[in-house]
């Protein structure tokens, strides 16, 4: 029996309701209605779990030139200086905007903002809300969005694919909307829109061990690629050096700020090892710290190293790190008296959908912001606390750009509904679970902190086989969140490996033992997809689910 999808018509649709998506919506909604699609509850977004803070020049001793220089140094020659300058110069005004919204930043007794220092920063410039900045930021933005009469949030929606003019055999090409799974009804909705904004976060769940929540599956990157958009620098995956080593808290981060406030990395015998790797020791950029930990773990055959801040007063620790202290106490640790066991985990996707400084992609009417995008800010390595800043700056930039372009984007024509008459319910969900685990294990073993040509070739071969199985499954069964996320992870995994194999050097987060030195000139790795194939019509003249699955 045929079950055509429901059809919705919106002005602007934002896929993702984290810091980037909410910032965009709040800056545009006074001028045009905005609909946000949220895949997960608020507490399952990457924004919500960000601990450190937002980097901004707020101290008289600091300067835009210094913040830019630190960012460029961390980016190992691959940052776009224009994007860096654009971002750091707008940081203070974004902080002021958040303060006006009621963001509860931590302050000194004098009333001034408390600024901390993190890896890669030469100054104290990280403004924060204790050690739960992401949660405070998300709650602040979400409360404003929910109260805004021109913002609608649709929950439990998982993006399936974009609908473009080219896919309907029309020219000129532009984004016309998207298909999205409504998990409450189990039906795929056809959502027409004048513009679509991808703010779905990164792809770090492509690895077996990650600090990210389960929803970080690269949805925006994958669907933009399938719609014909270029991606860039996807080989640069940042591994956070200090994820808590505990079976009940595999994604719990021990913030960069712990090292910024004097935390030391130790071997099990109590020996401090970071000064052997970098003169900045624990305050070196994350790629250096993560590689040092990885090397010591492999050299000694140990499962973790130790992060110790117990030499600081207990009151200081509890005041500066209340969330970390409380959670680790629940798990049996007392960081005021003993070190914490930590390991690196996949944390941030530095590359993504290639955009300009307004968030525009290659497809007219389609924007990408936040971790989904590659703006040129991060280069080969993201400096700590520049990520939330990027969400804010480019969320506003995209909103301002789209506001001025809405007249160029007429309402879309009628779009083909998603028809699932020729597929069935799956009776082999174990296939999805098995492929999910094998894909993530392959990426962890062969495309992790340290890579080689042989490892990357093995990963490419295995991912190719997995993609074949996943696509066959996708063509025959009704979609589910797990299947859609697996399909997207497989696409992003392939793109990460392709990018890594093209880079015959070691730079920033990409370290290849067969090419250990950086090339004389830093070049971004840009992948261009084949032109999107038009949807095929079924012999009955309608687009069925199978026919829509190109």
Catalytic residues: 286
**CB-neighbour burial class of residue 171 (10 A; exposed 0-12, middle 13-18, buried 19+):** exposed
Cβ atoms within 10 Å, residue 465: 11
172 contact partners, CB below 8 Å, separation of at least 6: 165, 364
The whole-angstrom separation of Cα 496 and Cα 405 is 33
- 313 phi/psi in degrees, rounded to 5: -60, 145
The whole-angstrom separation of Cα 20 and Cα 60 is 28
The whole-angstrom separation of Cα 331 and Cα 125 is 31
Q: Which of 460, 436, 262, 252 is nearest to 345 (CA)?
A: 252
Cβ atoms within 10 Å, residue 89: 14
Q: Which of 368, 337, 39 is nearest to 232 (CA)?
A: 368
Q: Which two tokens stand for residue 413?
A: 């024509």
Pairing of strands 352-354, 373-374: parallel
Q: Which of 384, 49, 106 is nearest to 244 (CA)?
A: 49
Q: Which two tokens stand for residue 503?
A: 């880079």
Mapped onto helix, strand or coil, the DSSP state of residue 231 is strand
Per the DSSP assignment, residues forming a β-bridge with 55 are 126
C-alpha separations of 405 from 32, 33, 126, 393, 409 in Å: 12, 15, 34, 19, 7
């Amino acid at each position: 029996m045929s079950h055509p999808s429901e059809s919705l018509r919106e002005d602007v649709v934002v896929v993702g309701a984290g810091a980037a998506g909410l910032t965009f919506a709040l800056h545009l909604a006074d001028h045009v209605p905005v609909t946000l699609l949220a895949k997960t509850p608020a507490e399952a977004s990457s924004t919500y779990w960000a601990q450190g803070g937002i980097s901004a020049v707020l101290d008289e001793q600091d300067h835009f030139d210094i913040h830019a220089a630190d960012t460029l140094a961390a980016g190992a020659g691959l940052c776009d200086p224009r994007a860096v300058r654009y971002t750091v110069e707008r940081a203070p005004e974004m902080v002021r905007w958040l303060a006006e919204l009621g963001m509860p930043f931590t302050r000194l007794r004098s009333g001034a903002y408390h600024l901390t220092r993190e890896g890669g920063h030469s100054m104290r410039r990280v403004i924060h809300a204790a050690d739960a900045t992401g949660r405070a930021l998300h709650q602040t933005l979400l409360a404003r969005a929910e109260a805004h009469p021109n913002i609608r949030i649709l929950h439990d929606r998982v993006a399936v694919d974009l609908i473009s003019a080219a896919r309907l055999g029309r020219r000129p090409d532009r984004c016309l909307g998207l298909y999205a799974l409504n998990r409450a009804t189990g039906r795929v909705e056809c959502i027409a829109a004048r513009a679509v904004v991808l703010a779905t976060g990164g792809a770090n769940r492509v690895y077996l061990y990650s600090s990210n929540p389960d929803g970080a599956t690269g949805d925006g990157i994958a669907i933009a690629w399938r719609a014909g958009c270029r991606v860039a620098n996807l080989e640069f995956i940042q591994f956070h050096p200090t994820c808590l080593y505990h079976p009940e808290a595999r994604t719990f981060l021990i913030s960069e700020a712990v090292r910024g406030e004097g935390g030391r990395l130790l071997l099990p015998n109590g020996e401090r090892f970071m000064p052997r790797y970098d003169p900045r020791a624990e305050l070196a950029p994350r790629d250096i710290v993560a590689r040092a930990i990885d090397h010591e773990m492999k050299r000694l055959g140990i499962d973790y190293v130790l992060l110790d801040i117990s030499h600081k007063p207990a009151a200081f620790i509890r005041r500066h790190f209340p969330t970390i202290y409380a959670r680790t106490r629940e798990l049996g640790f007392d960081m005021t008296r003993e070190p914490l066991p930590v390991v690196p985990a996949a944390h941030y996707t530095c590359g993504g959908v290639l955009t300009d400084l307004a968030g525009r992609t290659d497809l007219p009417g389609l924007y990408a912001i936040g971790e989904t995008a590659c703006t040129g800010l991060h280069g080969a390595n993201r400096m700590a606390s520049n990520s939330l800043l990027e969400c804010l700056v480019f969320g506003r930039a995209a909103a301002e750009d789209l506001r001025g372009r809405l007249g160029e984007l007429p309402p879309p024509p009628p779009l083909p509904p998603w028809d699932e008459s020729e597929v069935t319910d799956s009776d082999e969900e174990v296939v999805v679970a098995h492929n999910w685990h094998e894909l993530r294990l392959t990426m962890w073993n062969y495309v992790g902190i340290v890579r080689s040509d042989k490892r990357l070739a093995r990963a490419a071969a295995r991912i190719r086989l997995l993609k074949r199985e996943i696509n066959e499954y996708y063509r025959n069964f009704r979609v589910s969140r797990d299947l859609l996320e697996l399909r997207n992870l497989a696409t992003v995994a392939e793109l990460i490996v392709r990018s890594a194999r093209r880079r015959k050097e070691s730079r920033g987060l990409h370290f290849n033992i067969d090419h250990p030195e950086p090339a004389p000139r830093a070049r971004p790795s840009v992948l261009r997809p084949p032109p999107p194939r038009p949807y095929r019509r079924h012999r009955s003249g309608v687009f069925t689910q199978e026919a829509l699955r190109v």
